[in-house]
Structure 1
Amino acid sequence: MDKNAKLPENETGAVLFNVEPIILKYHYEIDYLHSYAQDSPFFAGLAHGKLLGSRCTGCGHVYATPRGHCMECGAATAWAELPTEGRVHTYTTCYYGGEAFLEETPFTLILVEFERVDTLFLSRLVGVEPDEVTIGMPVRAKFRRNSTFRPTDVYFVPL
């Protein structure tokens, strides 16, 4: 047994900013692997300029926000392409947002109503001042040219 054994020292570590409570600042980095699993077709659709929802294989209920099973009858659903034009069902203007939306604040969130689709789709409305948005306003989906595989890859503009 070596009583003089010790770990090698290096120049890394943390900088002490405060004593009570101790606050440490140090760099942290991680590669994060994420899978969209059964929702992958939705995000692949956005990358190809398509909105995909789901249609119940039992009762035919169509969901703008895809799901694996029908909320009405419980049957499995299948992927279905949604229209890219709809109308504003309701809206809200957000004056505060998360980090991803700080540069866009204020921004308008809308629930889009599509023909022959039983539920609504949440997205942003771009190109309209908040006081110009109206219920029933016709809108069209637009897609980011370079997909980030996030729900924000699709947004709506006035028709």
Structure 2
Amino acid sequence: MTLNPNAKMEETQKGTEVYNVDPLIVKSHYEIDYIHSYAQDSEFFRAMGKKKIMGSKCKNRDCGYVYATPRGHCMMCGSETEWHELPNHGKIHAFTTCYLGSEEFLPETPFHLIMVEFDGVNSLFMARLIGADEEDLHIGMPVRAKFRRNLRFSPTDVYFVPDVPK
């Protein structure tokens, strides 16, 4: 084993851009390509191309728990689940306005995230809400799902808008 108390990291001319000192604001860049499989959740993403939201339902008839976000096994009884189409209409159970976001969403801040409650579904579905100002949001507000025309195969392919009578 070699111990070197004089070891140093290699120095370069590359530094960090500083925009402000108090509070300290610095520029950072991060980018990566990542190839992955949606595996058992593939049907959830394919269904969005058909303007459908797919959850899952416990196969155990004594349980029958319905999940807004799909899972392979029931968290209540451990039984397998099956695909279950969710309604495209629901209501706001909870909401927040995000003033910060990841690199992808930062240019869109502020934006609203909602937890959608569907009739006959035991859990909630999180998505973005567009088309409403913060002062218009309220618990119980009716919303309906909309889908991107050009899918990105991302959870953000489905979003919600206020469901107002025509």
TM bucket by the smaller chain? 0.7 to 0.9
What is the CA distance between 1:47 and its match in structure 2? 2.0
Give the number of aligned pairs: 136
Q: Deviations over 1:101-158 (max 9, x none)?
A: 1222111100000000000000001000111101000000000000000000000000
Which of 54, 70, 88 in structure 2 is aligned with 1:84?
88
What TM-score, normalized by structure 2, do the two folds share?
0.77
2:6: which partner in 1?
A: none
User: Where does structure 1 differ by over 6 angstroms across 4 or more consecutive aligned residues?
Assistant: none
Question: What is the root-mean-square deviation in Å for CA atoms of aligned residues?
Answer: 1.7
What does residue range 45-56 of structure 1 map to in structure 2 within 5 Å?
A: 45-56=47-58
Which AA in structure 1 matches 2:42?
S
1:112 aligns with 2:116: yes
Is the CA contact (8 Å cut-off) linking 1:107 and 1:130 kept in structure 2? Answer: no
1:100 aligns with 2:104: yes
1:154: which partner in 2?
A: 158
Q: Deviations over 1:69-128 (max 9, x none)?
A: 001111000001000000000100111111121222111100000000000000001000
Is the CA contact (8 Å cut-off) linking 1:56 and 1:69 kept in structure 2? Answer: yes
Identity level (%): 61
2:135: which partner in 1?
A: 131
1:34: which partner in 2?
A: 36
Alignment partners' CA distance in 1, 2:126 and 2:33: 29
Alignment partners' CA distance in 1, 2:57 and 2:78: 12
Alignment partners' CA distance in 2, 1:60 and 1:135: 27
Alpha carbons of structure 1 residues 30 and 88: separation in structure 2 relative to 1, 3 Å:
closer
What TM-score, normalized by structure 1, do the two folds share?
0.81
Alignment partners' CA distance in 1, 2:32 and 2:144: 38
1:5: which partner in 2?
A: none
Unaligned runs of 5+ in 1: 1-14, 19-28
Unaligned runs of 5+ in 2: 1-11, 16-30
Which of 9, 13, 17 in structure 1 is aligned with 2:14?
17
What does residue range 64-79 of structure 1 map to in structure 2 within 5 Å?
A: 64-79=68-83
Alignment partners' CA distance in 2, 1:140 and 1:41: 21
What is the CA distance between 1:33 and its match in structure 2? 2.2
